[in-house]
Chains A and B, each alone.
Chain A
Amino acid sequence: MKALKYLLASTLVAVIYIAGPGQSPALAVDAIPPGGSHDGVDVPQPIEFPHDIHVEVNKINCMYCHTYARRSKVAGIPPTSKCMGCHKIIATDKPRIQKLTEYWTKGESPKWKKVHDLPDFVHFTHERHIKRFVFDQDFPVEDVKEVCAFCHGQVKNMTVAHKVKPLNMGWCVSCHEANGGPGDCWKCHK
Chain B
Amino acid sequence: MNGPVKRRDFLKMMGVSGVGGTLAGCDLPSTVTLEEGKEDVVSYFMPEEYVIPGVGVWFASTCLQCDAGCGIHGRVREGRFLKVEGNPDSPINKGKTCQMGQAGVQSHYNPDRITQPMMREGGKLIAVSWEQANSALKQKLSNAGKKIGWFTGTISGHQSALITNYLDAVDASTESHFTHDVVNAAVWQAVNKDMLGDSMPELHMDKAALILSFGADFLGTWVSPVHFAGKWGEFRSAEAGAGRGTLIQVESKMTLTGGNADLWVPAKSGSEGAIALGLVNYVIKNSPNAGNNISSEQQNLISSYSLEKVAQIAGTSQDYIKRIGDALIKRSPSLVLAGASVEGHEHGYDAVAAIMLLNIVLGNVGKTIQPSNATPFPQLQAKPGNTRDLIEFTNAAKSKKFDVVFFSGSNPVFTAPDSLGLKDALGNVGFKVAVSTFPDETTMQADLVLPLSSYAEDWGTHVPAYQEDRNIVAVQQPLMNNLYSDTKGLGDILLDLLKDKKPDEYGSYKDYYAYLQDAIKTLRGSSSIKEPEAGDLQFWNKTLKTGLIDVADQKNTFASTISTENVTIKLPEEKTDSAYPYQLAPVARLGLYDGRHANLPWLQESPDQISKVVWDSWAEMHPNTAKKIGVSHGDLIEVASENGSIKLKAYIIKGVHPDTIAIPLGQGHEEFGRYAKGLGVNPLKILTARTDSKTGELAMYATRVKVTALGKEDVFVRLGGNDTQVGRKFVRTIPVEVLKRTEGA
Residues of A within 8 A of B (CB): 6-7, 9-11, 13-18, 21, 32, 34-41, 43-44, 68, 71-74, 76-81, 107-119, 163, 166-171, 173-175, 177-178
Which chain B residues in 38-74 approach chain A with CB under 8 Å?
A: 38-47, 52-55
Residues of B within 8 A of A (CB): 1, 7, 10-23, 25, 27-47, 52-55
Q: Is the CB of B55 within 8 A of A71?
A: yes
CA distance A37 to B1 in the complex (A): 12
In addition to A68-B54, A113-B37, A114-B38, 16 A-B residue pairs with Cβ atoms within 8 Å of each other are A14-B15, A14-B23, A38-B1, A39-B1, A41-B37, A73-B54, A79-B45, A109-B44, A112-B41, A113-B36, A114-B36, A114-B39, A114-B40, A168-B31, A170-B16, A178-B20
Q: Is the CB of A10 within 8 A of B36?
A: no
B19: which of A35, A43, A81, A113 is its contact (CB, 8 Å)? A35
Residues of chain A lying within 8 A (CB to CB) of residue B11 = 6, 9-10, 13
The A/B interface has a contact count, at CB < 8 Å, of 164
Residues of chain B lying within 8 A (CB to CB) of residue A73 = 54-55
Pairs A–B under 8 Å by Cβ, sample size 29: A6-B11, A13-B14, A13-B18, A14-B14, A18-B21, A21-B19, A32-B19, A35-B16, A36-B12, A36-B13, A39-B1, A41-B35, A43-B37, A72-B53, A73-B54, A76-B53, A80-B45, A80-B46, A111-B42, A112-B40, A166-B13, A167-B33, A168-B33, A170-B16, A170-B27, A171-B16, A173-B29, A177-B20, A178-B20
CA distance A117 to B54 in the complex (A): 14
CA distance A173 to B17 in the complex (A): 8
Q: Is the CB of B36 within 8 A of A40?
A: yes
Q: Is the CB of B28 within 8 A of A170?
A: yes
CA distance A77 to B20 in the complex (A): 33
Q: Is the CB of B43 within 8 A of A76?
A: yes
Residues of chain A lying within 8 A (CB to CB) of residue B52 = 68, 71-72, 76
Residues of chain B lying within 8 A (CB to CB) of residue A117 = 34, 36, 38-39
Q: Tell me the dominant secondary structure on chain A's binding face.
A: loop
B357 to chain A, nearest CB (A): 57
A166: which of B1, B18, B45 is its contact (CB, 8 Å)? B1
CA distance A1 to B22 in the complex (A): 23
CA distance A74 to B77 in the complex (A): 12
B30: which of A107, A118, A169 is its contact (CB, 8 Å)? A169
Q: Is the CB of A174 within 8 A of B19?
A: yes
CA distance A66 to B53 in the complex (A): 11
B43 nearest CB neighbor, chain A only = A77
B82 to chain A, nearest CB (A): 14
With most chain B CB atoms within 10 A of its CB, the pick from A16, A44, A118, A163 is: A163
A173: which of B20, B23, B32 is its contact (CB, 8 Å)? B20
B39: which of A17, A71, A113, A168 is its contact (CB, 8 Å)? A113
CA distance A114 to B1 in the complex (A): 17
A146 to chain B, nearest CB (A): 18
Q: Is the CB of B54 within 8 A of A72?
A: yes
Q: Is the CB of A109 within 8 A of B45?
A: yes
Q: Is the CB of B39 within 8 A of A109?
A: no
Q: Is the CB of A170 within 8 A of B18?
A: no
Q: Is the CB of A76 within 8 A of B54?
A: yes
